[in-house]
Amino acid sequence: MKAPSAVPAAVLWTALCNGLVAALLLRDGIGVNLLLTALPAALAAGVAAVVRGRRPRAWTLVWAVTALGLLLVPALRDAGWPAFLAVLAFFAVGSLALHGGRRWPGVLLGGLGVWASVVPGIGWALRGLRERTAGNRRRWLPMAKAVAVAVVLVVVFGALFAGADAAFADLLSGIVPDMTLGDFPLRVVMFVLGVLGALAAAYTAAAPRRFDRVKVRPGRARGRAEWALPLVVLAVLFAVFNAVQLTVLFGGYQKVLAETGLTYAQYARQGFWQLLIVTLLTVAVIGLALRWSPRGTDGDRLLVRSVLGAICVLTLVVVASALRRMELYVGAYGLTRMRISVAGIELWLGLLIVLIMAAGVFGARWLPRAVVASAAVGFLVFGLSGPDALIAEQQVTRYENTGRIDLVYLQDLSADAVPALDRLPEPQRSCALQMLAYDLRGGGDPWYARSLGESRARSVLAARPVDPSDVCSRAGVEGYLIEVP
């Protein structure tokens, strides 16, 4: 789309508002402040799109709602790693909402296109400012003076009222960020980034790049025998492997363990990673096979659907086998961040295989957007589910059933794990929570930079403080004692 000629005044004001919100709220950490900062930028993009004559479509709304929903993860969960993944997904899905896209080039490049709008957005805003301020100083200068006077009055009288009444001062400190001269440079940086982000989003909404128009040369169609022979051999190999797996899955573990000399947990650990790689490679093989598939006649298309459909079905058995092995592995050693992450990846790969099969039956026009949407929703569900809380819950349940627990690992979890760890008996409870209690000591972050998980953890620890004595030694854990004030 042709670059817009004039920036709407509402876009300039919302960009300024976005910069102020970023400067005030993003200095102290992340929480609901990320969502509050994104809202003015989304408003600026919406205004620019409406002025430009763009109408919201169903998929645009899906991408926009999903993007903003991803920012609920740092607002609700304290764990930094799922929050980081959710924020990365937010930028990709938000960029896709601004660009749109149906084909693979559109949905893949559209997720990155907003970054290319930063510099054009600055030029767009500067041109608009020059056009609006030239010869109009009598109109905007009094408004600027009025805003400056209002800010000064609020600061002066707010400070006086805070000094006159302790209750008002406490209320004000809980709402207004605590600003010092030392953090002024960082807040300036946050302000600039907030303004640039809003301008880039608005410019993209006003003049999106049509990545769907990028031409991708189709692969050269192969002959039936040349194309089908390697895939049929691969399918036979899958079938043989799955026959063994089905035997094991339905009760043949003891025989396999006796023949291999492996323990129950070793057998589960040995195969999961290989099966995960098999699933990844199978997705790549299917993509390449579709690129080089014979497609001249109805018979060719039937052959492609039959062979690839068989491979997809057999791959789903591989996915089930991998997840079963992970279940055994977790039962033997407990749930960890790595294990829950790769299990989530394996589940999504299984869903991807199902989507590919559905595309073979109903057509593939919807497949690119469905794949990206499934990934975005996966990040959202993964973050909102609270992985650290699930890990703690599983470890505590495992301890109740077997008496085994990895207290050293649990000490590194986030505040999301506190409600589950609070179920442990002493001294295991205090040993597992000592490091978290140390990290959560004091007043903590302001409300806008604090997650719901952190608030819940503080309530639990305030109701039942941890034992500050040498509980880890009594629990059998050495070298991890932190003295909690």
Say yes or no: 141 and 206 in one domain. Answer: yes
How confident is the model at residue 485, as a pLDDT? Answer: 32
pLDDT tens digit string along 392-438? Answer: 999 999 999 888 888 889 999 999 999 999 999 988 999 999 989 98
Overall average pLDDT of the 360-373 stretch: 92
How confident is the model at residue 137, as a pLDDT? Answer: 57
In terms of residue numbers, what domain contains 414? 405-474
Tally of domains within the chain: 3
Say yes or no: 53 and 127 in one domain. Answer: yes
Q: DSSP state, 449? A: G
Say yes or no: 88 and 179 in one domain. Answer: yes
Say yes or no: 136 and 47 in one domain. Answer: yes
How confident is the model at residue 402, as a pLDDT? Answer: 87
Of 213, 232, 267, the residue at which a domain comes to its end is 213
Number of residues that this document lists for the chain: 485
Say yes or no: 243 and 328 in one domain. Answer: yes
> Do 457 and 78 meet the contact criterion of CB atoms below 8 Å apart?
yes
pLDDT tens digit string along 151-188? Answer: 677 667 766 766 676 665 665 555 666 666 667 788 88
Torsion sign across C-alpha atoms 130, 134, 140, 144: positive
pLDDT tens digit string along 236-260? Answer: 999 998 887 777 666 555 665 666 6
pLDDT tens digit string along 266-286? Answer: 666 666 778 888 888 999 999
How confident is the model at residue 480, as a pLDDT? Answer: 42
Overall average pLDDT of the 25-32 stretch: 87
Say yes or no: 138 and 269 in one domain. Answer: no
Is 291 within the bounds of a domain?
A: yes
pLDDT tens digit string along 112-132? Answer: 999 999 999 999 998 888 877
Tell me the C-alpha distance between 78 and 460, whole Å.
Answer: 15
Is 436 within the bounds of a domain?
A: yes
How confident is the model at residue 473, as a pLDDT? Answer: 74
Say yes or no: 377 and 442 in one domain. Answer: no
Of 182, 213, 244, the residue at which a domain comes to its end is 213
Is 218 within the bounds of a domain?
A: no
Say yes or no: 64 and 83 in one domain. Answer: yes
Say yes or no: 367 and 234 in one domain. Answer: yes
Is 133 within the bounds of a domain?
A: yes
How confident is the model at residue 263, as a pLDDT? Answer: 62
Say yes or no: 410 and 375 in one domain. Answer: no
- Concatenated DSSP letters of 135-192: T-HHHHHHHHHHHHHHHHHHHHHHHHHHHH-HHHHHHHHHHS----STTHHHHHHHHH
pTM of the model as a whole: 0.87
Higher pLDDT: 165 or 302? It is 302
Rg, the chain, Cα only: 28
283-289-294 Cα angle (round to 5): 155
Q: Name the 3-class secondary structure at 122.
A: helix
Is 31 within the bounds of a domain?
A: yes
Tell me the C-alpha distance between 342 and 323, whole Å.
Answer: 10
Overall average pLDDT of the 143-147 stretch: 66
Of 213, 243, 278, the residue at which a domain comes to its end is 213
Say yes or no: 170 and 112 in one domain. Answer: yes
Say yes or no: 157 and 301 in one domain. Answer: no
Provide CB contacts within 8 A for 99, sequence distance 6+. 106, 109, 110, 113, 114, 204, 208, 209, 211
**What beta strand segments (E) does 320-418 contain?**
none
> Do 107 and 101 meet the contact criterion of CB atoms below 8 Å apart?
yes
Is 244 within the bounds of a domain?
A: yes
Is 140 within the bounds of a domain?
A: yes
